[in-house]
Amino acid sequence: MNASDLASSYDLVVIGGGPAGLAAAALAARAGLATVLFDENPGVGGQIYRAITFSPVKDRAVLGEDYWAGAELAAEAQASGALIVNGATVWSLDPARLVGVSIAGQARLIEASRVIIATGSLERPFPIPGWTLPGVMSAGGAQTALKAQGLVPNGKTVLAGGGPLLWLLAAQILRAGGRLDAILDTTPRGNWLRALAHLPDFVLSPYFSKGLKLLREVRAKVRVIRVDRLEAVGGERLREVVFGTADGERRMPADLLLLHQGVVPNVNLAIAAGLAHTWNERQLCFEPVVDRDFNSSVPGISVAGDGAGIAGGTAAAERGRIAAIAAVRALKPEASVPDVQIVRQKLRREAMGRAFLDGLNRPAASFRQPTGDTIVCRCEEVTAKQVRDTADLGCEGPNQMKAFLRCGMGPCQGRLCGLTVTELIAAQRGTTPAEVGYYRLRPPVKPITLSELASLPIAEAERKAVER
Amino acid sequence: MYKRLAEAGTPVAITVDGKPISARAGDTVAAALIAAGIDHCRTTPVSGAPRAPYCLMGVCFECLVTVDGVGSRQGCLMPVRDGMTVETQTGKREAGR
C-alpha cells in the first residue's frame, strides 16, 4: 500500500488499530461507509492485542484467552470492507478533518467526513532515579517484545510498580518460562481504604475472579515486596535496584528492571486537533471531553477507546461501536446498524469494577512527583529540581516551562513527561493539575522528514500565494 | 537480557554498525537489537548518555537509530528487512565539528 493509492477523501477515517479502532472500522464499513483505518504499527491489534495476526507465541496459555479474543476483532475488521493500512503514521489532524498521513516515507492529506481517534493509551510516566539507564524498560515494552517477537527476560529481572498489567505481565513471563526474580509493589497500603467503597461492584465484575487468580498464580512463584522508594543504579547500564521497605533500604542486583504505573490516555493527536480536554482526578490524567456517543468538542471528530479515558480493552471495542454508529447515523441515516442501547448496556457492564481498580492502583504521589536530580523529561534531560525551582520562580504552566527548560520539546513531544511536569508545577504552586493544564501540542505530532512534506501535492492557489 | 521463545521465524540478515546480526521475520529493528543483546542504541544529544529502547510502542523515542542512511528513525515501528543497515546514533553535540 502506497500513500498515492489512497483516495483523496473518505466517509470515515479511523486512527489507531486497537480494539476501539477495529470495532469502529468494522461496523462503519459494514454499514456502507467508505472507511479507512490508519495504524502506525506493523500489524493490527493495538497494544492489548499486539501482533494478534502474527504472534510467534503459539502456546495459547502463555498470553491467555483474553489476548486471543482479539483475533476475532481483527478478522471482523479485515472482512468488513474497511481499508486497513498498517505502517501508516498520522501526523496531523485539524478541526476541518484534514488528515496528514505518511506511508513508507510518502505523505498525503486526506479529507474525512468523520474521524474517530482511537489512539488508545500509553503507560503513565514513572520517573524514578536512573529510569533512563539501558536495562530499564517499561513493562508494556517487555510485553510487546513477548507478544510480537516471543522474547522473554532471561537475566536477573525485577518488575516494579502497580496496576493490573503488572500482574498480567508477571504471569505471562512465568508461563513462557522467562525469569522473574522479584516484584516490587509500589501500591500504597492506604489505597485499600480508597477502593473499599467500590468493592461490591468489583466483586460482581469479571475483573474480580480474574484478578484473584492472577495474583495467586504470580505470588506462588515470585517474591513480592512492598516498596515506598525505588531507584535504578548503574553507570553505562543498570547494575542494581535499590528500594525502601518497611525494614529499611535494600539492594538487588538486576540486568533488567521493568516499570509500570498504570496507563493514561494518549492525548497528543486529540489535543493537537483542538479537542477540549479535562483533568480526571480519579485517574490522574487528562482526557478529551466527550458525550455519550464519544463525540468530542470538535464537530465530526470523536474519540473512542482508552484515548477517551481509561476503561480497558473490552470496553474500548464497545466504545468504538458506539462512535461508529453515530458516524453512520450522521452520514447515512438509512443504513442499518446494531441497536445502540444494547451496546451501551454492554459498556455499562464493562465499567463495573473500574472505580475499585482506579482506587486500588492509584500511584503514590512520591512516584508521580519526583524530587532532586531525577530526570523528568528524558529527551531534554530536565530534572525534577529544575522544574520545581522554575515553578518557584513564578513559572505558572507547562508551556512557559518549555521556554525556561525545553522540557517536552524533544522528539517524544511530552508523552513521557507531560503529566509529571503538570503535577510538579501544581504541587509546587499549591494549585491543581486542572488549573495548571497540559502542554500545548501542535502538528506534526509524529516526526516527518522535509522530503515527505515536500512530496505533498500543491494546489495552484497555494503556489500562487507564495510565488512572486 | 532476553531470549527467544521460538526460533521459528525466518532469519533476516541485517547489519548494526557494520556487524551482521541475525534478526527474524516479524522483528522490528528495536526488537532485533534487544534480541541480539545490543546494550544501547544511541547516546543523547544533551549529555551523551547511553539510551536503549524503552516503550517499544512508538511513544518514547528512545530507540532512534539510523536506518539505511536516514537518521532518527523509530526502531520499534520499523520491521526488519533483508540487507537493512542499522547504525546506532552518537548524539552529543561536539564543538568544532
d(CA A31, CA A26): 9
Q: Cβ B5–A151 below 8 Å, yes or no?
A: yes
Q: Whose CA is closest to B56, among B20, B27, B18?
A: B27
Confidence of residue A355 (pLDDT cuts 50, 70, 90): very high
% chain A with pLDDT above 70: 100
Yes or no, beta carbons of A134 and B47 under 8 Å apart: no
Q: Is B28 on the interface with A (CB under 8 A)?
A: yes
Over 80: is that where the pLDDT of A180 sits?
yes
The 10 Å CB-count burial string (b at 16+, else e) for A199-210 is bebbeebebbeb
Searching chain B, which residue's CA lies closest to the CA of residue A52? Answer: B26
8 Å CB contact between B26 and A178: no
What pLDDT does B9 receive?
81
**Cis (ω within 30 of 0) for the bond into A444?**
yes
| pLDDT tens-digit series, residues A207-248 | 888 999 999 999 999 999 999 999 999 999 999 999 999 999
Q: Which residues pair with A110 in a beta bridge?
A: A99
pLDDT tens per residue across span B25-75: 999 999 999 999 999 999 999 999 999 999 999 999 999 999 999 999 999
Number of H helices, E strands in chain A: 20, 22
Nearest Cα residue in chain A from B80: A42
pLDDT digits (tens, 9 = 90+) for A356-375: 999 999 999 999 999 999 99
Give the model's pLDDT for residue A86. 97
Residue given cell 475472579 in the structure block: A209
Q: How far is CA A301 from CA A18, A19, A97, A117, in A?
A: 18, 18, 7, 7
| 3-class state of residue A360 by DSSP | helix
pLDDT score of A422 = 98
In this complex, do B1 and A135 lie within 8 Å of one another by their Cβ atoms? Answer: yes
pLDDT of residue B96: 54
Largest CA distance in chain B: 49
Assess B69–A contact: CB distance below 8 Å, yes or no. Answer: no
Q: What is the ipTM of this complex?
A: 0.95
Query: pLDDT at position A314, please?
Result: 95
- Best mutation target, A151, A261, A415, A420, to test chain B (most B CBs within 10 A): A151
**Confidence tier at A301 by pLDDT (50, 70, 90):** very high
**Given pLDDT bands bounded at 50, 70 and 90, which one contains residue B92?**
low
Position B97 scores a pLDDT of 46
Closest chain A residue by Cα to residue B25: A149
Q: What percent of chain A has pLDDT over 90?
A: 90
Q: Do A141 and B52 count as a contact with CB atoms less than 8 A apart? A: no
Q: CA angle, corner A126, sides to A350 and A423, nearest 5?
A: 85
CB contact under 8 A, A141 and B54: yes
Q: What are phi and psi of B46, to 5 degrees?
A: -90, -60
> Contact at 8 Å (CB) between A296 and A276?
yes
**Closest-CA residue in chain B for A104?**
B78
Report the pLDDT value the prediction gives residue B95, as an integer from 0 to 100: 54
Residues 282-341 in A contacting B (C-alpha not used; CB under 8 Å): none
Q: Which of A137, A156, A159 to mutate to test the interface with B (most CBs of B within 10 A)?
A: A137
Q: Which residues contact A302 (CB under 8 A, 6 or more apart)?
A: A114, A115, A116, A117, A290, A293, A294, A295, A296, A323, A326, A327
Q: Which three cell numbers stand for residue A305?
A: 477507546
Give the A window 187-216 contacts with B, CB below 8 Å: none
Q: What is the mean pLDDT of residues A190-197?
A: 90
Centre a 10 Å sphere on the Cβ of residue A390 and count the other Cβ atoms it contains: 21
B88 at interface of A, judged by CB pairs closer than 8 A: no
* Closest Cβ–Cβ partner in B5, B39, B52 for A56: B5
Average pLDDT value over all residues in chain A: 96
What distance in Å separates residue B46's CA from the closest CA in chain A?
A: 6
Of A109-118, A310-319, A441-450, B84-93, where does mean pLDDT reach its minimum?
B84-93
The Cβ of residue A97 has, within 10 Å, a number of other Cβ atoms equal to 20
Residues 48-67 of A with CB under 8 A from B: 50-51, 54, 56-58, 62
B55·A140 Cβ contact <8 A: yes
Partners of residue B63 in chain A, C-beta under 8 Å = none
Mean pLDDT, residues A3-7: 94
Which cell numbers in the block locate residue A279? 483533568
Minimal Cα–Cα distance from B38 to chain A, Å?
10
Q: For B11-90, which CATH class?
A: alpha beta
Taken in order A149, A153, A155, A159, is the CA torsion positive or negative? positive
Report chain A residues whose CB lies below 8 A from the CB of B77: 40-42, 87, 89
Does the pLDDT of residue A332 top 60, yes or no? yes
Confidence of residue A114 (pLDDT cuts 50, 70, 90): very high
3-state secondary structure at position A122: strand
Helices A164-175 and A139-149 cross at an angle (nearest 10°) of 40
Q: Residue A373: list chain B partners with CB under 8 A.
A: none
A144 touches chain B (CB under 8 A): yes
Report the C-alpha gap between B45 and A131 in whole angstroms: 17
The verdict on B10 touching A (C-beta cutoff 8 Å) is: no
Q: Distance between CA atoms of A160 and A174, rounded to whole angstroms?
A: 15
Q: Which chain A residue has its CA at the smallest distance from B74's CA?
A: A447
- Distance (Å) of CA A165 to CA A144, A170, A263, A313: 12, 8, 9, 12
